[in-house]
Amino acid sequence: MVPKHIEDLSRILRGVALIAARAAADSQLIKRAVKGERHVRERRQAEERKAEVRRKLRERRVPSSPLGRVMGFAGLGASLVYGTVADQVGQFFRGPREGQPASHNAYLTEQNAERLANALCRMRGAALKLGQMLSIQDENVLPPQFQAALERVRAGADVMPRRQLEKVLRDELGDEWSSRVAQFDHEPLAAASIGQVHSAVLHDGRRVVLKIQYPGVARSIESDVDNLLRIIHVANILPKGMYVEAAAKVAKKELAMECDYEYEFASQRRFKALIEADPEFREVFHVPDVVAELSSKRVLASELVPGVHIDKVKDMPQDVRNDVGTRLLKLTLRELFEWRFMQTDPNWGNFLYDEETDTLNLIDFGAARSYPKPFVDDYLRMVHACATRNKDEVILRSVRLGFLTGDEPDVMLEAHTEAGFIVGMPFAAEGTQLFFDTFDKYKFDSS
């Protein structure tokens, strides 16, 4: 602990220095000082993110060839079989574990769960994405040992070795890519299912981040998901009646879109233009600039922005929480029902709150998509029906939108509408008028 008199002296010296700076500096120098403080804050947050990555991740080469990825899944299947046999042999000699039910699935051991998590983090790509989607299911859906192991999968992937990382950069940006930056940090800020993020400094002093895609993941989406599903079905990991094929179909579609960084580049520019054209939103939201000379099909460069993940706002004062929550609700309604263009990935890390400037920085537009007017018409009526507890309208719009066929038994229709009413509760809550204002102003094209 620093002695109090040292703290007081330090505070006095800082005050004297500030007075001297104000007396000697013109407005341009002050602007530079503020900018410098911002860079220090950004650098500190980047170091904190890297420290978190170090605690969680390992450096392992991404299997990039079709054969390498097939062999990776074959190795996973073989390791699960080996682990199961070894566990069964052990139980033969020592007897079953205490509390183990008679109907115990031999594949569902903690060791096998850890093997699955390790393999997904090493393979990355669509398989890891599907594992992350499964990890957010209700805790009663997955066996507890697999739920715990998949929590680590959700935290992130392993990272590429430096040699593999540099090969991707050369292939995408050319052999002289490093000449375009003044500084590049080979240690990643984060690693996800399809790529990892690195910080860099441009020659003009701007700090940027480069999202670099893992090699081979884009062309192996279909086979990765199918191979993982085979293993899941053989091991009987999921309960009967859980149609994981639907989640797999969504994962394939999302991954194909998110692997196209040229699409994300265009989506980020489009979203930035929408924000800046809105007099209210441009004061409280910010979309970072993209950097064309450092972007390609598998590399996306963007301005580095400060802020904490939006879930951290829960620890801030209530007035900040209320304000941020209201902004996000306004943004969601504007995206869907006015722009009909939405960033559909609700990851906490895609919304960064900068408390110093009271700004919400929006990042990661790989899952941004447009919606046709007829769909939005029906969807808005669907949400309104849920909020007003209109059962007949919920069923009608659900059929129009494809959530129902219309041939379901009464018990299923009842369960569906009750679930819809729960979804509509936040929009119908006392004091929540934003949604109904949006509904009243909306111009419907269809009935």
Beta strands in 109-266 (DSSP E): 181-184, 190-191, 195-202, 207-213
HSE, side-chain direction, 13 A CA sphere, residue 425 = 6
HSE, side-chain direction, 13 A CA sphere, residue 272 = 17
CB 73 within 8 A of CB 123: yes
Residue 228: name the closest of 106, 137, 116 by CA.
116
Helix (H, G, I), strand (E, B) or coil at 120: helix
Residue 87: name the closest of 105, 109, 113 by CA.
109
Instruction: Specify whether 345 is catalytic.
Output: yes
For the chain, the distance separating the N- and C-terminal CA atoms, rounded to the nearest angstrom, is 69
Beta strands in 185-307 (DSSP E): 190-191, 195-202, 207-213, 285-286, 299-303
CA distance 285 to 332: 13
H or E stretch covering 116: helix 110-123
CA distance 198 to 162: 12
Among 224, 226, 345, 437, the active-site one is 345
Q: How far is CA 187 from CA 105, 165, 197, 377, in A?
A: 41, 10, 9, 46
Residue 435: name the closest of 329, 340, 360 by CA.
329
Catalytic annotation, residues: 345
